[in-house]
Amino acid sequence: MAFLTEYLGIPIGLQGLERRSRGIRERKVTKMTTKKDLFLITGATGNTGAHTVRLLRERGLRVRAFVHARDDRTDRLAEQGAEVVEGDLLNFHSISAATAGVTAAYFNYPIRPGLIEATANFAQAASEAGVHAVVNMSQISARREATSNAARQHWIAERLLDRTALVTAHLRPTFFMEWLNGFFVRRGSEGIYRLPLANVRHAPIAAADQARVIAAILQNPDPHDREIYPLFGADELDWHGIATKVQDTLDIPVRYEPIEISTFAAGLTAAGGSPHFVQHLSNVAQDYRDGVFSGMNNLVEVIGGTKPVTVEEHVDTTRAKFDTDGPFGITDARLAAA
């Protein structure tokens, strides 16, 4: 039975869609977790990966952190007691070595070319190594007809993993809470959000909340097999409402200035965004306008065990980041370049 139907009596998950490819063998139900289990976290220095490593290590569990390169962030992972291994998901032999002895894995790939190859490499390596389960980070816009190349590739990656014998759960979050930092423009004593998202609403979800869901599923994956979970934060807001909450928390004027998608794309390019990244965000901006990112549910609390972080809480804990422009904020200079 699907986790949500079985435990809540309501079909909030997408278990009726794009699932039930049960793999090539009957699975033995495995109750986790023991101290002998080993959890592989790919993208371990990223937002969701780093939080997941922290949560698992706080619970005394063995963690292998798979990273692309060593830096200060990997030092922090090692200090937490994680085994840090360097590799590349596009290199089959490195991911094959990383999956040896692993019980369950979190698979996460950044917005860059290569997702399908990385997924195939991981699926083969994990299958050979006898990995029991995978939690796959997808996105809410993942679907067959997606115009974003990255979103469509996420949908294909989901289907590929569903065709393995791995116990598989797919996460489809709406836009991350971290957008509030990344797209912030600090101009003197005021803040501005310039985004092409009209007046449509979404419930921004923090990476830490997603990590709680990831860690919970990794420790007991079988009830979540072949589930597709849309993930949402605490409050569904449009960007005028988000700007107001940021303003009230920072105690400075903050406003939202809607812009056109073409202007946004040009601004992202001026900020150094790759063609793949710009193509993705331009197309999901239209998805956002069409309501694809909207909605609410209680999955963070039901699976992760805590209520999701609010906009005010996030802004308060990341207050220092609002002193400067976010890396992809559409500043006056980038707006002029557009």
- Write the pLDDT tens digit of every residue in 52-108: 999 999 999 999 999 999 999 999 999 999 999 999 999 999 999 999 999 999 999
At residue 231 the predicted structure's pLDDT band, cuts being 50, 70 and 90, is: very high
Fold matches, 3-174+205-230 and 179-201+233-294+307-337: no
Alpha-carbon distance of 46 to 268, in angstroms, equals 20
Which is nearest to 247 in space by CA: 185, 191, 163? Answer: 191
Query: Which pLDDT score is estimated for 30?
Result: 53
With contact defined as beta carbons under 8 Å apart, do 163 and 246 qualify? no
Q: Which residues of 27-36 are buried (b: 16+ CB within 10 A; e: fewer)?
A: eeeeebbeee
pLDDT at 267 over 50: yes
pLDDT at 8 over 80: no
pLDDT at 331 over 70: yes
pLDDT at 1 over 80: no
Query: What is the mean pLDDT of the segment spanning 119-143?
Result: 98
Tokens encoding 259: 């812009």
Specify whether domain 179-201+233-294+307-337 bears CATH 3.90.25.10: yes
Q: Which tops the pLDDT comparison, 169 or 21?
A: 169
Query: Which pLDDT score is estimated for 27?
Result: 45
pLDDT at 230 over 50: yes
Query: Which pLDDT score is estimated for 33?
Result: 62
Query: What is the mean pLDDT of the segment spanning 250-254?
Result: 98
Please state the domain extents for the chain.
3-174+205-230, 179-201+233-294+307-337
Alpha-carbon distance of 255 to 243, in angstroms, equals 5
pLDDT at 119 over 60: yes
At residue 259 the predicted structure's pLDDT band, cuts being 50, 70 and 90, is: very high
Query: What is the mean pLDDT of the segment spanning 262-273?
Result: 97
Q: Which tops the pLDDT comparison, 15 or 66?
A: 66
pLDDT at 238 over 60: yes
Query: Which pLDDT score is estimated for 337?
Result: 85
In this structure, which CATH number among 3.30.70.20, 3.40.50.300, 3.40.50.2300, 3.40.50.720 belongs to the domain 3-174+205-230? Answer: 3.40.50.720
With contact defined as beta carbons under 8 Å apart, do 208 and 272 qualify? no
Query: Which pLDDT score is estimated for 6?
Result: 31
At residue 32 the predicted structure's pLDDT band, cuts being 50, 70 and 90, is: low
Question: Tell me: the pLDDT tens digits for 182-223?
Answer: 999 999 999 999 999 999 999 999 999 999 999 999 999 999
Q: Where are the beta strands (DSSP E) in the chain?
A: 38-42, 62-67, 83-86, 104-107, 133-137, 167-173, 184-187, 190-195, 227-231, 254-258
Query: What is the mean pLDDT of the segment spanning 240-257?
Result: 98
Which residue type, as a one-letter code, is found at position 90? L
